[in-house]
């Protein structure tokens, strides 16, 4: 009888503990249930804001950015403050949460983290730079539960930070604008630079080929990376850099086009992709932001050297059939050490099915961003 009472008591304590996780839902294995966030347009966000449904608008920028101008009614929860524990400002895990930042990058990161914590109704709607509705100024009001976190969440603007900001602007920082990447699916993407130049990479999948091309990049000769006929028109001075030009003379070449610097890097190292006939690319934009595209590959020796580059964004293939699988891609991402890591080329070539959510979610690395076909990523 004593043993039975002890077991029942332990079960009661476990139940209390589970219910005490601020509304987080446990699955059948006792793990916190996670969800996917939903990306919506700003028009859809505006319609949702007009409803009296208890929603909350969350600005995930810095304190100084919020003070300069924010959407009326938005509360401030900086992206960098969203870590392991659920934010005290968001006690209801079933509340509708509308998330935005400056341009759409931090809001995607924050939305993913909130969804991973168990928030079930997270909606991400991009950046305030595209917002056409009302904007108000002023500092954030601390929530009732977060007075003790105010100093921790606010990021003071120090003289050093101001100097760094000015230096960034002089060297092509935010004042230069940011490139926008449209992920089209598989290994295909379209990038529009701050100067308005249009770059297509490995054309094959998805939509968005209607904007005239200024530059076409192709990593190797396989058909699912070379469908240039998908591109509706090309500007008269459009350039093409394929694996042929990138490996001219048997050396990885660099190209400075003014609006972007293109550096060919190693790719291949598996039975389907010869290192002498395949490349990856590192793009450096006019604001200094760097983007690494692995191309079709397995682990390359050069990835160890890339760790010294402090890259901003990195895309890693991970289909596990013709290239490395997710586990190998995770190790590659850890080796390269980019600030933001994105899985792509997750399944063998199929125009009708060029994205796998389960594979994307299993790409468990620091700074992960999941970008679905048709979604944009602002490279800031």
pLDDT, residue 36, reads 87
Q: What distance in Å separates the CA atoms of residue 15 and residue 380, rounded to the nearest whole number?
A: 44
The more confidently predicted of residues 115 and 138 is 115
Rounded CA gap, 124 and 120, in Å?
13
Instruction: Give the other-Cβ count within 10 Å of 19's Cβ.
Output: 11
Burial classification of residue 60, based on how many CB atoms lie within 10 Å of its CB (0-12 exposed, 13-18 middle, 19 or more buried) = buried
- Alpha helices by DSSP H, listed for the chain, are 2-19, 42-49, 63-68, 105-117, 150-153, 159-170, 243-246, 303-306, 326-336, 357-362
What local confidence, expressed as pLDDT, does residue 122 receive? Answer: 95
* Per-residue pLDDT, 30: 52
pLDDT at position 351: 73
pLDDT of the residue at 141: 55
d(CA 220, CA 129): 37
3-state class (DSSP) for residue 365: coil
Joined together, the tokens standing for residue 194 give 């701050």
Whether 117 has a pLDDT exceeding 70, the answer reads yes
3-state DSSP assignment of residue 102? coil
pLDDT given at position 32: 55
Q: Tens digit of pLDDT for each residue in 221-279?
A: 999 999 999 999 999 999 999 999 999 999 999 999 999 999 999 999 999 999 999 99
- What's the whole-number mean pLDDT along residues 163-177? 41
Is a pLDDT exceeding 50 seen at residue 156? no
Cα–Cα distance list, 184 to 68, 195, 344, 357 (Å): 34, 21, 10, 15
Q: What is the DSSP letter of 256?
A: E
DSSP-assigned letters across all residues of 130-151: G--S--B-SPPPPPTT-GGGHH
Q: Which one of the listed residues 5, 101, 332, 354 is annotated catalytic?
A: 101
Structure tokens at 229: 């006929």
Q: Is the pLDDT of residue 317 over 60?
A: yes
101 belongs to the catalytic site: yes
Label residue 176 by pLDDT band (50, 70, 90): low
**Which of 72, 43, 41 minimizes the C-alpha distance to 59?**
72
Sequence-ordered list of residues with C-beta below 8 angstroms from that of 104, at least 6 positions apart, any chain: 124, 126, 127, 376, 377, 378
- Give the pLDDT of residue 139: 72
Residue 27's SS3 state is coil
Q: Per-residue pLDDT tens for 293-305?
A: 999 999 999 999 9
- Which parts of the chain are beta strand (E)? 38-39, 56-59, 75-76, 97-101, 122-127, 179-185, 188-192, 198-201, 213-217, 234-241, 254-256, 260-266, 279-285, 290-293, 313-317, 340-344, 376-379
Rounded-to-integer distance, Cα 104 and Cα 321, Å: 32
Of 312, 288, 340, nearest in space to 109 by CA: 340
C-alpha to C-alpha distance for 91 and 119, rounded to whole angstroms: 10
Backbone angles phi, psi at 91, to 5 degrees: -75, -20
């Amino acid at each position: 009888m004593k043993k039975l009472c002890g077991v029942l008591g332990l079960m009661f304590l476990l139940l209390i503990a589970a219910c005490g996780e601020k509304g987080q839902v446990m699955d059948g294995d006792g793990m916190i249930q996670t969800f996917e966030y939903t990306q919506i347009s700003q028009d859809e966000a505006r319609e949702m804001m007009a409803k009296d449904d208890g929603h909350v608008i969350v600005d995930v920028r810095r304190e100084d950015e919020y003070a300069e101008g924010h959407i009326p009614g938005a509360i401030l929860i900086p992206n960098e403050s969203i870590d392991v524990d659920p934010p005290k400002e968001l006690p209801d895990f079933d509340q509708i949460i509308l998330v935005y930042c400056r341009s759409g990058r931090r809001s995607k990161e924050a939305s993913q983290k909130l969804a991973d914590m168990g928030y079930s109704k997270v909606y991400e709607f991009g950046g305030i730079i595209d917002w056409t509705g009302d904007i108000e100024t002023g500092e954030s009001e601390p929530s009732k539960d977060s007075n003790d976190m105010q100093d921790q969440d606010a990021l003071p603007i120090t003289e050093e930070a101001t100097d760094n900001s000015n230096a960034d602007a002089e060297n092509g920082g935010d004042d230069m604008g940011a490139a926008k990447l449209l992920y089209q699916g598989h290994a295909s993407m379209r990038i529009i630079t701050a100067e308005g130049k249009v770059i297509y990479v490995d054309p094959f999948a998805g939509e968005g080929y209607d904007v005239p091309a200024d530059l076409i990049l192709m990593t190797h000769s396989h058909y699912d990376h070379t469908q240039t006929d998908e591109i509706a028109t090309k500007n008269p001075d459009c350039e093409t850099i394929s694996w042929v030009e990138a490996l001219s003379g048997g050396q990885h070449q660099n190209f400075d086009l003014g609006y972007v610097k293109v550096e060919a890097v190693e790719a291949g190292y598996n039975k389907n992709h010869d290192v002498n006939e395949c490349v990856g690319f590192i793009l450096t934009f006019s604001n200094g932001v760097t983007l690494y595209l692995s191309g079709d590959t397995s682990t390359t020796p050069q990835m160890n050297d890339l760790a010294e580059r402090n890259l901003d964004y990195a895309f890693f293939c991970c289909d596990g059939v013709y290239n490395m699988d997710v586990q190998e891609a995770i190790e590659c991402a850890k080796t390269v050490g980019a600030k933001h890591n994105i899985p792509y080329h997750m399944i063998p070539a199929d125009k009708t099915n060029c994205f796998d959510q389960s594979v994307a979610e299993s790409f468990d690395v620091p700074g992960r961003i999941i970008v679905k076909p048709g979604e944009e990523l602002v490279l800031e």
